[in-house]
Amino acid sequence: MSLSRISNLQAHLRIVQKTSSTALGSVITRHHPKSVSSLRTISSSSLVRDKQATAATVKPVQKQHDWNRAVSEAEKIVGYPTSFLSLRWLLSDEIANVALHLRKLVGSNHPLLKTAKILIYNGKNNMQAWGLIVLLISKAVGHAPSVPDLEQDKSAGVLHSQRALAEITEMIRTSSLVHQGLVNLQPLANAGNDLSGDSEMIFGNKIALLSGDYLLGNACLQLAGLKNQELIELISSSVRDLAESNFVGDRDIQNNPLPTKPEPGTTRSSDTLSDEDLGLGDLEDNTKPLNIKDVLGNPEKEWSLRHILSAGSLLGKSCQGALILAGQPEKLQKQAYLFGKHLSLAWQACIDLESFSSPNLTPGGRFSLVSAPVLFQLEYDPTLYDEIKKGRDCIDNIDYAKVHSEVLKGPGVEKTRNLQKKHSLAAMAVLNELPPSDARTALQNIIIAMQDL
């Protein structure tokens, strides 16, 4: 068929379509004069109903404060997903080599594999949203007028230095998690024996040590690049706290933490301890080591100490550091520290509760022995500590099903809920002092969404 004939056919079809539509319109108008206006009315009313239906379907989702939804909306506010804030190191040749070597550990049951899985899948139970929190508090508070325009990322409403700090925070946290994947291959009594049969575990330890050091080294390099002495001292003290968290209280041979035996007459109910009682010295000067005197054996103080050292210190000081970079006054900086600390503790309380959300423990299931419900149960029933003592050599010797059952019978779960609520309200109180903004609303939604963790 020639091109001219195809062109003539296409023109003929267009004429037919136009004639048909015109004829149809005239028929409708002639025989049903009200049809056109009725169609307009129907279309407009259906549009209203569609809007109402859409609003009706959206509202319940907002009320549920779904965790993934809250984080997703918060990420839009700061510009992009923060789980992969530092693509520079994630896609570097060094990390690519680590990933290659990590594949060799598949099937070896090395703890580093579990850590990698948590980091990759970024589940709601880990703290990979820390960079997001730092950026949101930065945007919610704003910066001083004296900050030069070149320092501002106006599209996201934060400073370039604050975005770098968010990356540093995630790298330090990730390096700490990776370092915790190290395995003690033999007790001190057998030190020096042949370990040739544990070649895979030795290889896994090397990868965990070197990759953790690489991340921490890069974080320190970026921190120095910000050229702020006050910030460097502050974040360095949080790295010290992370290291100190591994030496608090009793441990088994694999450095798994064990709770301290409650001291009679020294414990107090969780809902009576104020922020000053839980200060541990960080309310006066949070760059100094925390005061651990008379803390171990007191369930809430011990729990707070462990998790401020291992998590709350870094998040709180990163929030404080973001305001240092913004040139905000010292009083507001301290409020940012308290916000990050309380948010971290509320988050941890939610995670602790998850292990006791079911009446029965799954076969082979484990949970943290220093979680808040366990510590509160030990206060309520000190005889449970006899079971805990079996884990002095290895926590595998503990009957987790028995501990789980005993915790559910006591007040530990309810006290942990009160603990979570207290720290959530403390974090909310800081936010309520800030001017209304989309960043502040996003932080509030995240706190509310933690109830579903």
The enclosing H or E element of 153 equals strand 152-153
pLDDT at 383: 93
Q: Do residues 223 and 235 lie in contact, with contact meaning Cβ atoms separated by under 8 Å?
A: yes
In degrees, rounded to 5, the angle at the alpha carbon of residue 102 between the alpha carbons of residues 108 and 202 is: 55
pLDDT at 109: 66
Q: Do residues 317 and 137 lie in contact, with contact meaning Cβ atoms separated by under 8 Å?
A: no
pLDDT at 240: 96
Looking at 122-193, list the stretches that DSSP marks H as alpha helix, in order from N- to C-terminal side: 130-141, 160-179
* C-alpha dihedral, 226 to 228 to 234 to 240, nearest 10°: 60
Phi, psi of 251 (to 5 degrees): -140, 155
User: What pTM was computed for the model?
Assistant: 0.79
Rounded to whole angstroms, how far apart are CA atoms 138 and 74?
13
Between helices 412-432 and 438-449, what is the axis angle to 10°? 180
Query: Residue-wise over 370-403: b if at least 16 C-beta within 10 A, else e?
Result: bbbbbbbbbbbbeebeebbeebeeebeebebeeb
Picking from 254, 79, 260, 83, the residue whose alpha carbon sits closest to that of residue 155 is 79
Rounded to whole angstroms, how far apart are CA atoms 220 and 233?
11
The three-class DSSP label of residue 294 is: coil
The three-class DSSP label of residue 325 is: helix
Rounded to whole angstroms, how far apart are CA atoms 429 and 423?
10
pLDDT at 149: 84
Half-sphere exposure of 255 (CA within 13 A, CB side): 16
Q: Would you write out the chain's pLDDT as a tens digit for each of its 453 residues?
A: 444 444 444 444 444 344 444 433 443 344 344 433 333 333 334 433 443 443 433 333 343 347 778 888 888 888 765 554 445 555 556 566 666 666 666 656 667 666 766 665 554 444 458 889 999 999 999 999 988 888 888 778 899 999 999 989 988 998 898 888 888 876 666 666 666 666 777 888 888 888 889 889 989 999 999 999 999 999 999 999 999 999 998 898 888 899 998 876 554 554 555 655 566 888 888 999 998 888 888 899 999 999 999 999 999 999 999 999 999 999 999 999 999 999 999 999 999 999 998 888 888 888 999 999 999 999 999 999 999 999 988 898 999 999 999 999 999 999 999 999 999 999 999 999 999 999 999 999 999 988 765
Picking from 148, 126, 128, 153, the residue whose alpha carbon sits closest to that of residue 138 is 153
- For residue 85, give the DSSP letter: -
**CB-neighbour burial class of residue 332 (10 A; exposed 0-12, middle 13-18, buried 19+):** middle
Rounded to whole angstroms, how far apart are CA atoms 422 and 109?
38
- Chain-centroid distance, C-alpha 79: 18
Which residues are 250's β-sheet partners?
258
> DSSP string spanning 210-259?
HHHHHHHHHHHHHHHHT--HHHHHHHHHHHHHHHHGGGSSEE-TT--EEP
Rounded to whole angstroms, how far apart are CA atoms 213 and 199?
21
Picking from 232, 304, 241, the residue whose alpha carbon sits closest to that of residue 275 is 304
Rounded to whole angstroms, how far apart are CA atoms 125 and 128?
9
Structure tokens given for 25: 């319109």
Rounded to whole angstroms, how far apart are CA atoms 90 and 87?
5
pLDDT at 171: 87
Structure tokens given for 243: 């290291």
Picking from 421, 397, 219, the residue whose alpha carbon sits closest to that of residue 314 is 219
Rounded to whole angstroms, how far apart are CA atoms 259 and 371?
9
Q: Do residues 391 and 369 lie in contact, with contact meaning Cβ atoms separated by under 8 Å?
A: yes
Rounded to whole angstroms, how far apart are CA atoms 314 and 373?
24
